[in-house]
Amino acid sequence: EVEDHLRDIRDRAWKVFPYGCIGRWLFLNCVITSSSEYSHILKRLEAGEVLLDAGCAFGYVLRQLAFDGSPASNLIGTDLQQVIAGDLLEPEDPSLDSIDGKVDIIHAAALFHLFDWDDQVTLGSRLVKFFKPDANAMLVGRQIGTLYPPKRGTQKDQKAPGWYRHNLETWQQMWDEIGDKTGTQWRVRGTLQEM
């Protein structure tokens, strides 16, 4: 009965948009809970800080955070599909203006790798606008990466046209570019894990 219910959820979601994370059931694995930052994030949220789940899909990360004690009033979700409203690739989307300058932490998982480099810079720049001006800003998540990213502007070795996948060096370079564009500075920490 549970398996049928989950299959129904996945099949309905797949019809909206056939993301690999939906097809591979990744929405059943709330990876953020295994992050070394998770307990720190919970403490910050319990202290009144605000988290945005950018690309929240079904909202399972938000539900997990609430279940683990984060006040629901400190949790915001948005996605690429208009079902939830808000176009993260539109720098001036008025439907997102209400959260500009109101967020301390952003969770963005399985999101950046859906776009080419330039759109990732646009996305990152838009996310930066959500942070409070005086925030101890934190962006956490996971993306599909590669050990050998192509030269910027090429699609060589990419699984889908328009996608750009990073290693840690190009991820930092992209955030340096976002920082130049937004007047901010970003320090990247991460690991590459074989899947």
Task: Work out the average pLDDT over 107-123.
Answer: 91
- Res 144: pLDDT: 82
Q: Which pLDDT band holds residue 155 (cuts at 50, 70, 90)?
A: low
Instruction: Describe the crossing of helices 168-182 and 117-130 by its angle, rounded to 10 degrees.
Output: 60
Q: How many helices (H) and strands (E) does the chain have?
A: 6, 4
Residue 185 CA, chain-centre distance (Å), reads 19
**Has residue 52 got a pLDDT over 90?**
yes
CB crowding 79-99: b at 16 or more within 10 Å, else e: bbeeeeebbbeeeeeeebeee
pTM for the predicted model, two decimal places: 0.84
- Over range 107-132, report the average pLDDT: 93
Position with higher pLDDT, 181 vs 32: 181
Q: Check residue 184 and give its pLDDT.
A: 96
> Rounded to whole angstroms, how far apart are CA atoms 5 and 14?
14
Name residue, tokens 């994370």.
21
Judged against a pLDDT cut of 70, whether residue 107 lies above it is answered with yes
pLDDT, tens digit (0-9, with 9 covering 90-100), for 2-16: 889 888 888 888 888
pLDDT tens digit sequence for 18-47:
777 778 777 777 888 988 899 999 999 999
Number of residues that this document lists for the chain: 195
Q: Give the range among 37-46, 60-69, 76-85, 106-115 with minimum mean pLDDT.
A: 76-85
- Higher pLDDT, residue 170 or 98: 170
- Sign of the alpha-carbon torsion through 160, 164, 168, 171: negative
Q: Where are the domains of the chain?
A: 31-182
* Percentage, residues of the chain above pLDDT 90: 47
DSSP-derived secondary structure letter, 177: H
Q: pLDDT tier at 157 (50, 70, 90 boundaries)?
A: very low
Q: Is the pLDDT of residue 143 over 50?
A: yes
The proportion of the chain whose per-residue pLDDT surpasses 70, expressed as a percent, equals: 90
Q: What is the DSSP letter of 44?
A: H
User: So what's the architecture of 31-182 in CATH?
Assistant: 3-Layer(aba) Sandwich (3.40)
